[in-house]
Structures are given as C-alpha cells and as structure tokens.
C-alpha cells in the first residue's frame, strides 16, 4: 500500500470532518488533557486497516496506538483490537475518521473472505473490480487482498481491457485488438470482454491473452471454456453471488470478478469505548 496516497486520503478526510476545529471537544476538554481508550470489536469478521487506523493518530500526533491484532486476523465480538493513550482532544478528533476507514476496510475483507471460502477446493481465484468508492480505491483493494482475494486493474492505466463499447467503436474484436497492438507496448496483455460464443471464437482468433465471459449463463460459459481450451486466461464476470460462485468455479474458469465485494459490503461494527481520563 502506498502510504503517500494513504496519508493524502487521511488528511483530506480529517479536513472534511474538521474544517476549522472540533468545537464540541474544545469547548469542554483542556489542551493538556490526557486519556486512554480502547478499539473494540462488536461483531465477527476479518480485520483490515489497523495500520491505517494507527496512521490517523500518527498524523494528528500526541497519541500512542498499541495494536493487539494484525490485518487478516479473524475477530469476534468483544475482542480488544487496540489501545490508545495520549491527547484527549486528538483521540476524539480522529475517532470518526479512523473508525470510518477501518470499518469499511474490514467490511470488505470480511465479505471477500466469504466469497473466497466458497472457492476452496477449486482452481478459480477471486478478483475485485474498479467498482470502488471514489478516492478510496487503494484502501478498498488492499482490504480485498487482506480478505484473500486478488486485485484486477487499479485504474485505466493499469491494463488493456477492451469492453463492449470499445469493440463497437472499432467494428469488432479483431479490429479493436489489431488497433490496440499497433499502439501499445508488446509487453502489455490484452483482455477482451465477450458476451456470446461467436465473440469468444473471434477473441481466440485475435490471439488475446485474457477472455472475459461477461454475463453469460452457466451453460454458455461452460461451452466457452471448452472452446477456449487454455488458449487464453478465462475470467467470469456478472451476476456473481455467494449462492452461485461455487457453481461458476466448477465450469473451470481461472478467475471470477465480483463487484459486490467493494460496492455492496456491510461495514464491520467496531467502536472506541472505555475512555479514561489520565489527568
């Protein structure tokens, strides 16, 4: 994880939450007040973002954070995850931002892990997508990795993927691939989105590296895998759920991409409790 980018995310979140000052805290808490507090788990899940949580307080300063767990650990209700000690003002000032980030990341890691568990025993791997929260992609894709998933493209500069509108704009898969090859480095892989078996055959003829089976039913996807016959990496995408991902894996695709893990997750319930004044 690029901590230059993470610091930028944290600082912008703090500015959003505290554009001038925390008037509630500053009205009642003296500047030299010191306290301790605990980060607690309120439900079972996979923890992700502990170092991000800690980094919030490193940026604010004057708060020591001791972590009791590490990213990827299975956690349970009432588990103590961290202990904080230092400036009462800064503890309270960073509470919402630090919780927002770690709760989101842990929710993604938890949901990702559920999908990964469904793939156990198969050779199919789970991928995320670019369907992430704007400006939080690096954190959310990191959380996917913590949950046991794999990252697809981070951005549009990260790989060649020719989707339906690219193909339509060029007049077909072969034309789109030929044009792409003329304009990119030979070290770049090319992925093509296909929606039917004719498109799959055209993608094979174009000698692409990765073929996405987009929104196909299982019977069509199974036939597509047979036609491809290891001539390209296969990726299944569209309408994937916890209920059907095991069946998708059984048709023999190399990867399954799931947008839900970064756009339809539930945040993991964590809280900062048991504040004790030191002075």
d(CA 40, CA 270): 6
Q: How many CA atoms lie within 13 A of 261 on its CB side?
A: 38
* Catalytic residue flag (residue 96): yes
Which residues, 6 or more positions from 106, have their beta carbon under 8 angstroms from its beta carbon? Answer: 45, 46, 47, 48, 49, 143, 267, 268, 270
Could you identify the residue written with the tokens 């095991």?
246
Q: Could you tell me if 260 and 241 are in contact, meaning their C-beta atoms sit under 8 angstroms apart?
A: yes
Task: Determine contact, residues 251/228, Cβ cutoff 8 Å.
Answer: no
Q: Which of 95, 140, 191, 193 is catalytic?
A: 193
Single out the catalytic residue among 42, 51, 80, 131: 131
DSSP state of 158: S
Let me know if 163 is a catalytic residue.
Answer: yes
Contacts for 248 with CB less than 8 Å, ≥ 6 apart: 124, 218, 221, 236, 240, 256
Going by C-alpha positions, the residue among 12, 32, 40, 15 that lies closest to residue 90 is 32
**Catalytic one of 51, 80, 96, 175:** 96
- Of 70, 74, 163, 231, catalytic: 163
Confirm whether 131 is a catalytic residue: yes
Exactly one of 118, 140, 214, 235 is catalytic; name it. 214
The answer to whether 128 touches 262, Cβ cutoff 8 Å, is yes
Q: Does 214 qualify as catalytic in the annotation?
A: yes
The residues assigned a catalytic role are 96, 131, 163, 193, 214
């Amino acid at each position: 994880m690029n901590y230059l980018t993470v610091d930028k995310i944290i600082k912008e979140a703090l500015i959003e939450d505290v554009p001038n000052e925390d008037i509630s805290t500053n009205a009642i808490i003296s500047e030299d007040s010191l306290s301790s507090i605990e980060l607690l788990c309120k439900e079972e899940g996979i923890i992700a973002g502990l170092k991000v949580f800690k980094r919030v307080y490193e940026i604010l300063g004057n708060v020591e954070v001791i972590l009791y767990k590490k990213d990827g650990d299975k956690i349970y209700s009432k588990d103590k995850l961290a202990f904080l000690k230092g400036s009462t003002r800064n503890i309270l000032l960073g509470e919402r931002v630090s919780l927002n980030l770690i709760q989101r990341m842990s929710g993604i890691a938890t949901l990702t892990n559920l999908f990964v568990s469904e793939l156990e025993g198969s050779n199919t791997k789970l991928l995320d997508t670019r369907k992430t929260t704007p400006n939080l992609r690096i954190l959310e894709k990191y959380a996917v990795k913590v949950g046991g998933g794999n990252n697809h493209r981070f951005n549009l500069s990260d790989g060649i993927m020719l989707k339906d509108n690219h193909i339509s704009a060029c007049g077909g898969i072969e034309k789109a691939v030929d044009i792409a090859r003329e304009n990119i480095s030979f070290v770049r892989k090319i992925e093509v989105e296909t929606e039917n078996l004719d498109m799959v055959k055209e993608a094979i003829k174009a000698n692409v590296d990765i073929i996405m089976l987009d929104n196909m039913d299982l019977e069509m996807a199974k036939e597509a895998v047979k036609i491809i016959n290891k001539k390209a990496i296969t990726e299944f995408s569209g309408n994937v759920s916890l209920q059907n991902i095991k069946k998708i894996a059984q048709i023999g695709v190399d990867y399954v991409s799931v947008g839900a893990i970064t756009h339809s997750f539930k945040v993991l319930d964590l809280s900062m409790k048991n504040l004790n004044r030191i002075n």
